Amino acid sequence: MQNLALGLSSKIVSSYMNSQPLNIEKTDEYEITLYDKNRAVIYGLDSEEIEIKQDFYEDDEFEYFVDVSPQLHHGVKYLVVKNKKANKQISKLIQSTLLIATFSVVLIIIVGYFLAKMFLKPIQNERIKLDKFIKDTTHELNTPITAILMSIERLKKENIDEKILKRVDISSKRVQKIYSDLTYLLLENENQIVKQINLREIVENELALYEDLASKKSLTVDKNLSDAFVMIDEVSAERLMSNLLSNAIKYNRHGGKIELKLTANEFTISNSGTGIKKEQQDKIFERFYRANEYEGGFGIGLDIVKRVCGRYKIKIDITSVENGLTTVTLRFTTPL
């Protein structure tokens, strides 16, 4: 405002000195009024609320600047510049500030919501998996334990029956496998000694443990096993083969077959079960994931297989056809 007033004063003096008519251009932002020494209006609109006093002052709604630089040139004693849009500017500024503040708050809420959802989703998924894991574990442990207790009660009352003893044996092995898997996961195999192990012996030992389970489903087991020496700890090797054999039996059809082949560089195990859908093949190695809900297990077997393979740099591949053959292949990168 001051710069505008000084510029106009210079123009008034200059035009007077050059005998030019007084010409004041209007502006959209400011209202300009010129007064003579008697405070009569020479140019502009008279306004009763204006107090003619030197320099800057303001009232509740407007801002003013009074300049006496014209010094009566063209008869102008007072030049008054009034900011006629000050109230509107303030209102507009307040509205803009409120709009920006509101937008910022809404944006923060939206971003916070999606960030919270993004960060909490993995936790929620893990919680759901853990809850399902606990329920499945309870169910899975309950079945063999109940069978063992019932069989023991009958053994107390009757003569020992071969079928009952086999049922007790199978149930005991199921409990033992669940316990071994959980122990392996919890202890992370920290204290095991890595040494050269013949996997053929491990496969044969584990196959003997699962013989009754395979017989219960009338499965045919074809095996072609050669020596395969690998640097691995014994517990991990047992859990690796145990879970592969267990799944081959568990997800096989009644009267189906299992094929085992072991060479110095590779181990394959195939079963004639229901197969695995293509979209599920990348998920079956996730902990607690189950390809179906009607077979036993609670989704840690293949997670253990993946962990062992990752730890000892064993490459694992799986091929499967729905209602056809499913084959898991292990390739030993550093055979001895």
pLDDT digits (tens, 9 = 90+) for 247-297: 888 888 889 999 999 999 999 999 988 777 777 767 777 765 665 554 555
User: Is residue 18's pLDDT more than 80?
Assistant: yes
| Cβ(272)–Cβ(256) below 8 Å | yes
**Predicted pLDDT at 335:** 46
Burial of 253 (0-12, 13-18, 19+ CB in 10 A): middle
Going by C-alpha positions, the residue among 181, 245, 180 that lies closest to residue 212 is 245
Cα–Cα distance, 260 to 246 (Å, whole number): 13
- More reliable by pLDDT, 84 or 42: 42
Query: Which residues does 244 contact at the CB level (< 8 Å), separation at least 6?
Result: 269, 305, 328
Q: pLDDT band at 223, cuts 50/70/90?
A: very high
Cα–Cα distance, 268 to 331 (Å, whole number): 9
Going by C-alpha positions, the residue among 5, 74, 9, 10 that lies closest to residue 37 is 74
**Predicted pLDDT at 140:** 67
Instruction: Locate the domains of the chain by residue range.
Output: 2-84, 192-332
The two tokens of residue 118 are 């993004």
pTM of the entire predicted model: 0.51
Q: Has domain 192-332 been given CATH number 3.30.420.10?
A: no
28-38: burial string, b at 16+ Cβ within 10 Å, e else? eebbbbbbeee
Q: Please give the distance of CA 65 from its chain centroid, rounded to a whole number.
A: 61
| Cβ(247)–Cβ(302) below 8 Å | yes
Local structure of 327: helix, strand or coil: strand
